[in-house]
Amino acid sequence: MVRKETSASQAIPKKFPITDAMWASVGKNKMQLLFLVIFLLLCPFLGLFLREFNVIYQMRIVQRPDYTQWPQYIDLGYSFLVSMILTGLLALNQKIFLGLACKLVSEKYKGEERIERAERMIKCLFKGVYFTFAVGFAYYIAKDSYFMPTSLGGNGIVDDVFRDTPYFSHEGIFYIREYFIIQLGYHLHSLIVHVAGKIRNDFMEMLLHHSITVMLVSLAYLMNYLPMSLLILYSHDISDAFVSYTRFFVDTDFKKLTFLSYLLLMISWFYTRLIVFPFDFIRVSCYTNPMMHEMYGIGILGAMVHVLVVLHWYWFILLLKMGFRFIKTKDPVDTQQDLSKKQES
């Protein structure tokens, strides 16, 4: 009889409901417990807002019957279709390129762990290509707009981003609705893949991140807060592209490319997420917004973007630790999503 190999990277089998999965992922990790508490605290406030959401949505439409560009509920259906297409494309890529990816994985990984890392490499490259596309698409849409700030390559002023809120004019700004349908579809896809996948040491923090992102994009889109939402997505996607490329290289023996990608990741992350996001976007949205009285749901939306800042700092510290470890040991390891770490229920 051939004994089945048991890898140290084996994750918890998905044999229990999502609530049990959340608790199992927390374990004795205090940070993951904190993310679970934040997730549970946000839920009731989000529920209260959603109770009134349709009334507010219909009221906006009635107030301006001449405004024909208000987002529609059916757009969420199109986003779900996009998420299914992306999920299918990822599965197809996993099937086609697994053999090639296994050859690129570092020789230090063996057996089942080698296959898992090859699968993650394909997933990371898939995400990196998507984020590169999303960054280019957003810049094409908004580069000449009044709201794209010079800090992100435009000629506009971020303090003007809520001009005409909530009846945002699409004049001169093309394909912005299509952009949001695709973006929401991608983030729905990410949430589905995360929940359906194996439970790892980062399960709770990523569940919090994906859930907040899906809710922020959905609600901001249906409330027609498109300019600011585009800026937030655009700024995040820049660093997300480098996150994906760094994770692609980290399991290979291409150490110079790994380090170069890591440097670009740290620079873009610090600038877009820790400088531009809080001091430009959150400042304008939650503190100096002249249209605050017109923005229903700004309380819960504001709370969620502040939670994102906490996550950004948490991940930035983890990234710094990874970099110091890389410099000290010359061995790049992704400790934020540790495939070598066995979870215990």
Assigned domain for 31 exists: no
HEC secondary structure over the chain = CCCCCCCCCCCECCCCCHHHHHHHHHCCCHHHHHHHHHHHHHHHHHHHHHHHHHHHHHHHHHHCCCCCCCCCCHHHHHHHHHHHHHHHHHHHHHHHHHHHHHHHCCCCCCHHHHHHHHHHHHHHHHHHHHHHHHHHHHHHHHCCCCCCEHHHCCCECHHHCCCCCCCCCCCCCCCHHHHHHHHHHHHHHHHHHHHHCCECCCHHHHHHHHHHHHHHHHHHHHCCCHHHHHHHHHHHHHHHHHHHHHHHHHCCCCHHHHHHHHHHHHHHHHHHHHHHHHHHHHHHHHHCCCCHHHCCCHHHHHHHHHHHHHHHHHHHHHHHHHHHHHHHHCCCCCCCCCCCCCCCC
Distance of alpha carbon 168 from alpha carbon 226, whole angstroms: 8
Distance separating alpha carbons of residues 226 and 167, to the nearest angstrom: 10
pLDDT beyond 60 at 336:
no
In a domain? residue 50: no
Q: What does the pLDDT look like over 163-201, one tens digit per residue?
A: 889 999 888 899 999 999 999 999 999 999 888 877 777
**Which of 37-46, 56-65, 78-87, 302-311 shows the lowest per-residue confidence on average (mean pLDDT)?**
37-46
Say what the pLDDT of residue 11 is.
47
The pLDDT score that the predictor gives to residue 197 is 76
pLDDT of residue 328: 78
The reply to whether 34 falls in a domain is no
Owning domain of residue 240:
72-329
**What's the confidence (pLDDT) of residue 18?**
57
Residue 23 forms part of a structural domain: no
From CA 29, how far away is CA 36, in angstroms rounded?
Answer: 11
pLDDT-based confidence at residue 343 (cuts at 50, 70, 90):
very low
pLDDT digits (tens, 9 = 90+) for 309-318: 998 999 999 9
59 in a structural domain: no
Q: What is the pTM of this model?
A: 0.85
Task: Flag the least confident range among 144-158, 253-267, 290-304.
Answer: 290-304
Neighbouring C-beta atoms of residue 251, cutoff 10 Å: 26
Q: Is the residue at 103 inside a domain? A: yes
Query: Residue 21's pLDDT band (boundaries 50, 70, 90)?
Result: low
Residue 341 has pLDDT above 70, yes or no: no
- Residue 5's pLDDT band, with cuts at 50, 70 and 90, is very low
Residue 53 lies in a domain: no
Domain count, the chain: 1
Q: Could you report the per-residue pLDDT of 201-224, keeping only the tens digit for each?
A: 778 888 888 888 998 899 989 999
Output phi, psi for 156, to 5 deg: -95, -170
Residues near 237 by beta carbon (within 8 Å), at least 6 away in sequence: 131, 134, 135, 138
Whether pLDDT at 249 is above 50 = yes
Residue 8 within any structural domain of the chain? no
pLDDT in tens, 69-96: 999 999 999 999 999 999 999 999 999 9
Asked whether residue 121 carries a pLDDT value surpassing 70, the answer given is yes
| Span 89-115, average pLDDT | 93
